[in-house]
Amino acid sequence: MADDPLNTLARYLLADCFLAVGTEAEAVAQLRRALELDPDYWVAHFRLGALDAVRGSLDEALASAEHAYRLGPSWTVGLVAAVAARMGDRHRAEELVQQLRNRRPHGMAGGLTWFYVITGDYGRAQDWLEAMVEERDPWALVWGRVLFTVFGSGSLRPRLARTMNLPTS
């Protein structure tokens, strides 16, 4: 960071490292710093939205998710749909999920993976992550690592490890 303090990707990756070791506050600080440098950096908005959704800060999650959707790939609507569902707006969530389903094949799997992660249906999230891997979606590696952390030592972790071609123990 000292050599290139304005590098938003480096800040995003540093945030990812902080999340991997369980220091969420530092990760959030790096994501916010990346957004100070580039307010249109959709990946940082997306990650902040996902973190806020998991923590239950749904108003903040929705604002970040909608920002990511305006700026990023169309599959980011999955996070918007998930937050809407968590906020009780089932009608909006269903409309947005239908938008994802209409995108088949490219993009739908990533959006539905996040929809099911944030709404707590980890089995379906795993199904859609496997679809991402089958489609050779480059985001499968990134989101797979995030899900590996989410699943912890739970019963879905061995299945995810097999999907990602990682050791199961």
Ramachandran area for residue 70 (φ above 0: left; ψ -120 to 50: alpha; else beta)? alpha
Largest Cα span, the chain: 48
Amino acid 20: pLDDT: 79
d(CA 157, CA 125): 12
All structural domains of the chain with their residue ranges: 75-163
- pTM, 2 dp: 0.84
Spell out, as residue ranges, where the chain has pLDDT lower than 50. Answer: none
* Closest C-alpha to 58, from 147, 118, 128: 118
Under a CB-based contact definition with an 8 Å cutoff, are residues 55 and 19 in contact?
A: no
Long-range Cβ contact pairs of 82-89 (< 8 A, separation 24 or more): 82/53, 82/114, 82/115, 82/116, 82/117, 82/118, 82/119, 83/49, 83/53, 83/58, 83/118, 85/115, 85/118, 85/119, 86/53, 86/58, 86/61, 86/118, 86/119, 87/58, 87/62
How many whole angstroms from its chain centre is CA 144?
10
pLDDT at 150: 61
Residue 78 token pair:
């999955």
Q: Which residues contact 155 (CB under 8 A, 6 or more apart)?
A: none
Phi and psi at residue 136, in whole multiples of 5°? 60, 35
